[in-house]
């Protein structure tokens, strides 16, 4: 089992219930969207979550020191020199 951490709009929170650690990336995005939209991720309430909000997000899977798999759903971080122009 794996713990899913979701980062969106400057906030980050863990999902209370673990997921299968071999869950497909697409399913991670879909589940995250459903749960965030439903307000079921404590600390990550987004009232106006747009459709496909996590489409371009990255899914990382890392084992913590205890061996627990951590699944991170996060924005891409391509920039070190500056930030992308909005719009």
3-state secondary structure 43-65: CCCCCCCCCCCCCCCEEEEEECC
Q: How does strand 69-74 pair with strand 58-63? A: antiparallel
The answer to whether residue 48 forms part of the interface with another protein (CB under 8 A) is no
Residue 84 as a binder of another protein (CB under 8 A): the answer is yes
Q: Residue 60 interacts with another protein (CB under 8 A)? A: yes
72 binds another protein (CB under 8 A): yes
Q: Is 51 in the site for another protein (CB under 8 A)?
A: no
Strands 2-8 and 58-63: unpaired
DSSP 63-74: E-TTS-EEEEEE
Q: Choose the binding region for another protein from 23-31, 32-40, 46-54, 72-80 (rule: CB under 8 A).
A: 72-80
Query: Does residue 81 bind another protein (CB under 8 A)?
Result: yes
The residues binding another protein (CB under 8 A) are 5, 7, 9-13, 43, 56, 58, 60, 62, 72, 74-86
């Amino acid at each position: 089992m794996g713990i899913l951490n979701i980062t969106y709009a400057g906030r980050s929170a863990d999902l209370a219930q673990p997921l299968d650690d071999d869950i497909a990336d697409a399913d991670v995005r879909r589940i995250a969207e459903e749960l965030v939209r439903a307000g079921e991720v404590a600390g990550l309430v987004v009232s106006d979550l747009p459709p496909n909000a996590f489409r371009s997000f990255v899914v990382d899977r890392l084992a913590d020191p205890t061996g627990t798999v951590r699944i991170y759903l996060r924005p891409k971080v391509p920039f070190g020199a500056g930030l992308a122009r909005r719009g």
